[in-house]
Amino acid sequence: MQIFDSHAHYNDEKFEMDREETIKKVYEAGVKKLICAGYSLDSSIEAVKIANEHDNIYATAGISPNDIPVFENENVDVKDFFFEDIMNEQLKKIKQLVEKNHQIVAIGEIGLDYYWNKENKKEQKLAFINQIKLANELDLPIVIHTREAVMDTIDILKNQINVKNNGVFHCCPLNIELIREALKLGFYISFAGPITFKNSKNATEVINLVPLDKMLVETDSPYLSPEPKRGTRNDSSNIIYTIQKIAEVKNMSAEEVAQITYNNAIKIFKINVNWCISTDDVLLFLYNKVKSYLAIFLICWNQL
């Protein structure tokens, strides 16, 4: 079975003590590739480090709505000034990180979260839009985090900015309206543990709504363990429960769901295309070629 966990956080401190053993266990469980997702500047740097150290692990870089700068005690003008300044500085560093590391396959997770933060909606929207601009500039897809912010998320994607390289709704909320609009815009829907929860009333309806060619699976480890592992630290080996749930609803085998979602992840994150050739590599190759031809030419010239 080929499994692609499209979103996990092995950069989280919960894996600090046993990261290597866990990653080994995950590979043994049939997970062939995974994406380690950044959510702040530091966690993006850590995600890249992990991706650099392991084959078949890729990274995303971005600032999540819960990690954008906050200035609770400042007045409005000062707040605006500091926010834009610090945000731009962080985005400059994210851009440099992407330019140096070809394992970064998307800008994310970015988006809106009014569940944890209701006070800074304006800043969240600005950070979201600016990071979509960055993804467009860098030619990368986006990974969206949205929680209790359906209308504003749709409004931004539909009316405020064009997303050039598509994207994924990570751990997509089981909200019919959001999913309908996301699919209309061409986005991928990534399902995580919550579709297996006993209290998720509309999981079946939502799974049926999403066509197989637009579906991904993820764990969001170390969070959101699926049933029957709910409440424990999650890792990518538990993704099988999410795959089985989809297989049951779609009346397919788990292997088929795993393979289809694996192929979709390869496609959206351009895994085979992006992974190792940089402009520097091409220039170096050409330089070495020219150098060797020149050497042969000079040897022949001297013998004339």
* Residues with Cβ within 8 Å of residue 234, at least 6 apart in sequence: 193, 219, 220, 221, 222, 223, 224, 225, 226
Closest CA to 261 of 244, 238, 276: 244
Closest CA to 221 of 20, 29, 15, 61: 15
Q: What is the contact surface with Zn ion in residues (CB under 5 A)? A: 220
Three-state secondary structure of 227-278: CCCCCCCCCHHHHHHHHHHHHHHHCCCHHHHHHHHHHHHHHHCCHHHHCCCC
Q: Quote the least distance from Cβ 143 to Zn ion, whole Å.
A: 8
Q: Quote the least distance from Cβ 37 to Zn ion, whole Å.
A: 5
Q: Quote the least distance from Cβ 216 to Zn ion, whole Å.
A: 13
Q: Quote the least distance from Cβ 7 to Zn ion, whole Å.
A: 6
Residue (229 or 250) nearer to Zn ion, CB: 229
**C-alpha 296: how far from chain center:** 48
Give the strands of the sheet with 57-61, arranged side by side: 3-8, 31-37, 57-61, 104-113, 142-147, 167-169, 188-191, 215-217
Residue (27 or 111) nearer to Zn ion, CB: 111
Alpha-helical segments (H) within the chain: 19-28, 41-53, 76-100, 121-138, 150-155, 176-184, 203-209, 239-250, 254-268, 271-274, 279-303
Residue (140 or 247) nearer to Zn ion, CB: 140
Residue (5 or 220) nearer to Zn ion, CB: 220
Residue (106 or 247) nearer to Zn ion, CB: 106
Residue (113 or 220) nearer to Zn ion, CB: 220
Q: Quote the least distance from Cβ 171 to Zn ion, whole Å.
A: 7
Q: Quote the least distance from Cβ 28 to Zn ion, whole Å.
A: 23
Q: What is the CA radius of gyration of the chain?
A: 22
Residue (35 or 203) nearer to Zn ion, CB: 35
Residue with CB nearest Zn ion?
A: 220
